[in-house]
Amino acid sequence: MEKSSCIHFCFISCLVLFIVVGSWYRSTNSSLPNSTLQTPWSTSKNRIFSNSKASSVLETQAQTSIDHSAEAPHHPLDPLTVQEINKVRTILSSYEPFSFTFPTIHTVQLDEPDKVKVLKWSKGDALLPRKAQVLALLNGQSHVLTVDLDSSSITSHAINSSSGYPMLSVDDILAASKVPFSNAEFNKSIAARGVPSSDLICLPPSAGWFGPNEEGKRVVKVLCYSKESTPNFYMRPIEGLVMTVDLDTLEVLKFSDTGREIPIPKSTDTDYRYTAQTKEPQMERLNPISIEQPKGPSFRVEDGHIVKWANWVFHLKADHRAGLVISRVMVRDSENGELRDVMYKGFASEFFVPYMDLDESWYFKSYMDAGEYGLGMSALPLVPLNDCPRHSYYMNGIFATPDGNPFVQPNMICLFERYAGDISWRHSEGLLTDFQIREARPKVTLVARMAASVGNYDYIFDWEFQTDGLINVKVGLSGMLMVKGSPYHQAPNQDAMSGPLISENLIGVVHDHFVTFHLDMDIDGANNSFVNVNLVKERSLPGESPRKSYLKAKRKIAKTEKDAQIKLKLYDPSEFHMINPSKKSRLGNPTGYKIVPGGTAASLLDHDDPPQLRSAFTNNQE
């Protein structure tokens, strides 16, 4: 099957994806937003808490201010600059349909040029035409526009071109979180629970989708927590109190109050900040560890986005929705030194997080963390020395606010070299031969990292490049559980609960994290095929061998997208290869990579269950 635009892989919680090369092998900078640009959060919400004095010292060094206002693009895939986003806003402001009311901007991003044109482009060529794609909301309607920055014109405009709505903006979240305080039923319930309104924090998680009767409305559920005596309000839910809010009218469509008998969990020992820890950990002292690079890092970043390290070259940028996007990945051939294509583009396309509780205040919790909140929008500054080691290079994200102005997401991505004592390759001889060989080589890799704080959870993304041609993609999970208030102090019959009792009055509700990646492989060019290498048990013939059975690899090249859909089975194992059938190694094998899934799982929800209908991409693992 000649490769279409991309392939997708879906794994659960912590994903490790090894892309293994076949037959090929044997200047730091730091930044903060320019002072004239907007930021989406207040200064207090951007505060960094560190667990070492050294980190706070380096933090100042890592966030040296640079001026983004004069930057220009150098590569066809470079993200929109501050000047370009300002130009988009000017063009929209004079556009006749928006002349009376400027729309709420949800996304302004590069409308990437055609892939064929990008592949033909080389440094020194004239930059390809720059266009912006705008996703805006006006009078309850979604507007998708293409803005030609060279001609200062709008070349396409579609209204409600597809189902669904744009991701939540900062303004949406802030507006919805204020709605409860002007609702009489809510204030009455809060007073009855004895919670001062000054101690409340309300958040608007998405409402999911539960049938045609919800079409035509942009709604969220608003839940509230007590922040009394702790910043970790997630551990103090006001259980059973839920409001369904229309985001366009800010009207409360439904009020549910079912949990007044459930106490608010205590704040004792919930503060996770390092400065709040008063008890010494019950472990031996850990001495400081420092990895030195006396000559500095080995990688360099050219023109702001082109990363060069060892035998790798790739384009790296921040993205409003995906968080981190890797493009135009090439590796240098060890024999002739030529750069060879590996992947055109890779990024996390969606997170599906369904919770398994049927209560009125829980059934709807089936989040799409990328599509509903934006991984880039949720990425707060990385903490030097703790999130990223010394000698890291920091990259900012430049996005648009709801009013269309540019803002900087500072220190959103970091690049660093990793050495953790791992072995890249080794072999020893000497026991049975005259060769006395002790050969071992350390494993040094390059990591591109981004962390997104989506509500209570923090996702850590690592794209790790190895000198042997492997790419290792990891997603780590940190932060806090989303918990449910409970009347129990001791665990009752756990089979009757939606999860274990993890503390007094708190249940950790069972849930999944499905991570889906978009991988547009271009191994030695665009003519790529997906191969399912099925491992089949064969039985030996009578008298053929003392062995009774063995495994045989049977290759099946997918001819359609349907053929490439895979359900992983423990007792029907397969390997998955992406090959270029038109490119051969010196032995006659097609060049390619092996796609190796890490921790995987299948969704057990019924296919007609509303959350699963919305996330049907998790019906298969590939």
Contact 560, 545 (CB under 8 A): no
Model pTM? 0.89
DSSP letter assigned to residue 237? E
Average pLDDT for residues 354-368, to the nearest whole number?
95
Q: Residue 486 and residue 490: Cα distance in Å, rounded?
A: 10
83-101 pLDDT tens trace: 999 999 999 999 999 989 9
Residue 512's nearest CA partner among 9, 10, 7, 8 is 10
CA 457 to chain centre: 12
pLDDT in tens, 507-530: 999 999 999 999 999 999 999 999
The pLDDT tens digits for 105-162 are: 999 999 999 999 999 999 999 999 999 999 999 988 899 999 999 999 999 999 986 6
- Kindly report, residue by residue over 172-211, the tens digit of the pLDDT: 999 999 999 999 999 999 999 999 999 999 999 988 888 7
Q: Does the structure show a pLDDT above 80 at 272? A: yes
Q: Which parts of 180-257 are beta strand (E)?
A: 200-203, 219-226, 237-246, 251-257
Q: Residue for token digits 């890092």?
A: 297
**Chain-centre distance for alpha carbon 241:** 30
Residue 260 clears pLDDT 60, i.e. is over it: yes
Q: How many CB atoms lie within 10 A of CB 217?
A: 16
Provide the b/e sequence for 601-619 (b: ≥16 CB within 10 Å).
ebbebeeeebbbebbeebe
Count CB-CB contacts under 10 A for residue 314: 23
For residue 32, the model assigns a pLDDT of 29
Q: Which of 369, 387, 520, 524 is catalytic?
A: 369
Q: From residue 270, how far is each of 173, 227, 229 by CA, in Å?
A: 25, 11, 9
Average confidence (pLDDT) over 527-546: 95
| Six-digit token string for 524 | 């030695």
Q: Which residues of 359-377 are buried (b: 16+ CB within 10 A; e: fewer)?
A: bebbebbbbbbbbbbbbbb
Query: Whole-angstrom Cα distance, residue 352 to residue 601?
Result: 12
pLDDT band at residue 56 under the 50/70/90 scheme:
very low
pLDDT over threshold 60, residue 62:
no
Q: For the residues 58-72, what does the mean pLDDT come to?
A: 64
Asked if 402 and 170 count as a contact pair (C-beta separation under 8 A), the reply is yes
Which residues fall within 8 angstroms of residue 520, CB to CB, at 6 or more apart?
Answer: 3, 5, 6, 7, 343, 344, 345, 346
Distance CA 109, CA 131 (A): 9
Cα 27 from Cα 514, distance rounded (Å): 36
Q: Which of 165, 234, 393, 457 is catalytic?
A: 457
CA 102 to CA 92: how far, in whole Å? 8
Q: Hunting for tokens 């981190």 — which residue is that?
A: 324
Mean pLDDT of 491-520: 90
Per-residue confidence (pLDDT) for residue 208, from 0 to 100:
87
pLDDT at residue 7, as a whole number: 57
For the chain, give the number of residues.
622
Specify the DSSP class assigned to residue 565.
-
Identical fold for domains 82-159 and 171-267, yes or no, is yes
Q: pLDDT (tens digit, 9 = 90+) per residue, 446-466?
A: 999 999 999 999 999 999 999
More confident residue, 295 or 57: 295
Q: Which fold has domain 171-267?
A: Nuclear Transport Factor 2; Chain: A, (3.10.450)
pLDDT range class, residue 76, cuts 50, 70, 90: very high
Name the H helices within 20-114. 53-62, 82-93
Residue 417's contacts (CB-CB under 8 Å, 6 or more residues apart) are 293, 297, 298, 299, 309, 391, 444, 445, 446, 447
Sign of CA dihedral 521, 523, 526, 530: negative
Residue of 183, 203, 168 whose CA lies nearest to 256: 183
415 strand-pairing partners: 393, 448
Query: Is 520 a residue of the active site?
Result: no
Q: Phi and psi at residue 617, in whole multiples of 5°? A: -65, -15
Neighbours of 31 (CB within 10 A): 20
Q: What is the token pair recorded at 221?
A: 């559920």
Q: Residue 185, SS3?
A: helix
Per-residue pLDDT at 12? 39
**Tokens at residue 102, please?**
């400027």
pLDDT digits (tens, 9 = 90+) for 550-593: 999 999 999 998 998 888 888 889 999 999 999 999 999 999 99
Mean pLDDT across 454-483:
95
Does the pLDDT at position 46 exceed 70? Answer: no
Residue 235 in 3-state DSSP? Answer: helix
Where exactly are the structural domains of the chain? 82-159, 171-267, 527-621
Judged against a pLDDT cut of 50, whether residue 5 lies above it is answered with no
Portion of the chain with pLDDT greater than 70, in percent = 89
Are 375 and 410 in contact by the 8 Å Cβ rule? The answer is no
Our answer to whether residue 369 is catalytic in this structure is yes
Whether pLDDT at 14 is above 50: no
- CA–CA gap between residue 284 and residue 349 (Å, rounded): 42
Residue 164 CB-half CA count within 13 A: 13
Looking at the DSSP bridge assignments, the partners of residue 219 are: 246
Q: What is the pLDDT of residue 331?
A: 97
Confidence class for position 68, pLDDT limits 50, 70, 90: confident
Give the pLDDT of residue 598: 78
Give the DSSP letter of residue 266: P
The string over 348-357, giving b where at least 16 C-beta atoms fall within 10 Å of a residue's C-beta and e elsewhere, is bbbbbbbbbb
Over the chain, what is the mean pLDDT?
A: 88
Task: Quote the pLDDT of residue 39.
Answer: 41
Q: Both ends of the chain: CA-CA distance in Å?
A: 15
Query: Would you state the pLDDT for residue 210?
Result: 85
pLDDT in tens, 412-436: 999 999 998 999 999 999 888 888 8
Residue 132 belongs to what H/E stretch? strand 131-138
For residues 447 and 391, give the distance between their C-alpha atoms in angstroms, rounded to a whole number. 12
pLDDT at residue 430, rounded to an integer: 85
Residue 161's pLDDT is: 61
Structure tokens at 570: 């423990």
Residue 207 is predicted with a pLDDT of 86
Confidence of residue 43 (pLDDT cuts 50, 70, 90): very low
213-217, 257-261, 383-387, range with the lowest pLDDT: 213-217
The answer to whether the CB of 199 falls within 8 A of the CB of 228 is: yes
Confidence of residue 597 (pLDDT cuts 50, 70, 90): confident
**Protein fold of 82-159:** Nuclear Transport Factor 2; Chain: A, (3.10.450)
Predicted pLDDT of residue 257? 95
CA neighbor of 236 nearest in space, from 199, 206, 273: 199
Q: Give the list of residues 6+ apart from residue 239 with CB closer than 8 angstroms, or none.
A: 259, 262, 264, 361, 484, 485, 486
The tokens of 566 are what? 């895979």
Q: What does the H/E/C string look like for 291-305?
A: CCCCCCCCCEEECCC
pLDDT at 30: 33
